[in-house]
Structure 1
């Protein structure tokens, strides 16, 4: 008779380390690209914007580490001031990199107050996931839906069983595959939001996140 061993719970320390390493990759890669761009010849105004974006991603990486340090110490993270979506988007677009991302944002959506770090993490993960798993353009659409802001990441792909599993699972995956979506689920839940994936007609995939207003 074959014995079935109970599945071991993931070690919290290992999970934290994996999550931090995963979440640090995008800001560090973007920071490297921005510093290289600063070393090139650019007009002064362009260099100023590149420097601002580099500082934003350095601060984002520091915030991820601070969040991890608070978790290790058993402390609550410090309250985060609200930022509008319009303030958050330039850093997200810089992380997207290769020009495949287009953005549609309503006037009300642009002024919607959000938790900057968590929203940036959510969007960078979803946009990066869409870019890796599809060959076409990626769109970010932001619209108000009642008392929530809906952020939709659209790409030419199709929903897969693995995607739905990643969005439903309560425990982290054993490998890095699906870890970003698991992190997104935790962040969306922490903000009191909701996430879902759906097929588009006639083709395409939308991953939608609904977030309430962030209060300081």
Structure 2
């Protein structure tokens, strides 16, 4: 989470709204995983669910930690780098069973990304797709022109509300559109961009293009 401090809304109020918004997906997914683990007879599958639950708990703690860093003025873009493939299982867990497919080319799967921010971008986009459209949601990733191209496709379509959400310079007054606003600013903070387009076969495609992430090495003061 990286917020524009020039927004008209007081930073403290915006920060609180954003944290509450960004914590809803991991908390909801943790609840779903806990319920599924109770009835899952397969030990290997339960172990995988437990691993995903741990990852979501860590993501929730990262959201809180970054908010705390912003309050103390220590927030920056430094963060853990990981291949995209490492976060795709947790993104898939954000959608109900049978609603989501993921397809990443080998080059995209190896592409280094900011672990927390990229997961946050994809979870927000997947959550929007699941809430606002019926049918299957498709997450895709491929390397394109020296950048990582992420897509989240659903059976909806571009509309004026979506266009306004992507063009806003300030956060929306309510929760509607806040996730997209966060996604847009996270992408921009890493030198990327987001756009919405209609798929050739129909439906909506949200596309995020990101450069290669290279963590900034920090050294402590002597």
Rounded to whole Å, the distance in 1 between the matches of 2:201 and 2:90 is: 32
The TM-score with structure 2 as length reference comes to 0.90
Rounded to whole Å, the distance in 1 between the matches of 2:76 and 2:66 is: 6
Q: Counterpart of 1:55?
A: 54
Tell me which stretches of 4 or more aligned residues in structure 1 moved more than 6 Å.
none
Rounded to whole Å, the distance in 2 between the matches of 1:42 and 1:96 is: 21
The TM-score with structure 1 as length reference comes to 0.92
Q: What residue ranges of structure 2 are gaps of 5+ in the alignment? A: 1-6, 216-222
Cα RMSD for the two superposed structures: 1.4
Offset of residue 75 of structure 1: 0.9
Q: Counterpart of 1:32?
A: 31
SS of equivalent residue, structure 2 residue 93:
helix
Q: Counterpart of 1:160?
A: 159
Q: Counterpart of 1:145?
A: 144
Rounded to whole Å, the distance in 1 between the matches of 2:165 and 2:148 is: 23
**TM alignment of 1:13-92, pairs within 5 A:** 13-77=12-76, 79-92=78-91
Offset of residue 96 of structure 1: 1.4
SS of equivalent residue, structure 2 residue 52:
helix
Determine which structure has more spread, i.e. the larger CA radius of gyration.
Answer: 1
Q: Counterpart of 1:183?
A: 182
Rounded to whole Å, the distance in 2 between the matches of 1:123 and 1:36 is: 23
Moved more, 65-74 or 129-138: 129-138
Moved more, 126-135 or 170-179: 126-135
Rounded to whole Å, the distance in 2 between the matches of 1:76 and 1:33 is: 31
Rounded to whole Å, the distance in 2 between the matches of 1:97 and 1:212 is: 30
Moved more, 169-178 or 199-208: 199-208
Q: Judging changes above 3 Å, is the alpha-carbon distance between structure 1 residues 44 and 202 closer, same or farther for their aligned structure 2 residues?
A: closer
Offset of residue 135 of structure 1: 1.1
What's the CA shift string for 1:111-170, capped at 9, x where partnerless?
011011111110111111111111121111111111111001111111001111111111
Q: What residue ranges of structure 1 are gaps of 5+ in the alignment? A: 1-7
Contact 2:62 2:116 (C-alpha < 8 Å) held by counterparts:
yes
Q: Judging changes above 3 Å, is the alpha-carbon distance between structure 1 residues 203 and 13 closer, same or farther for their aligned structure 2 residues?
A: same
Offset of residue 192 of structure 1: 1.1
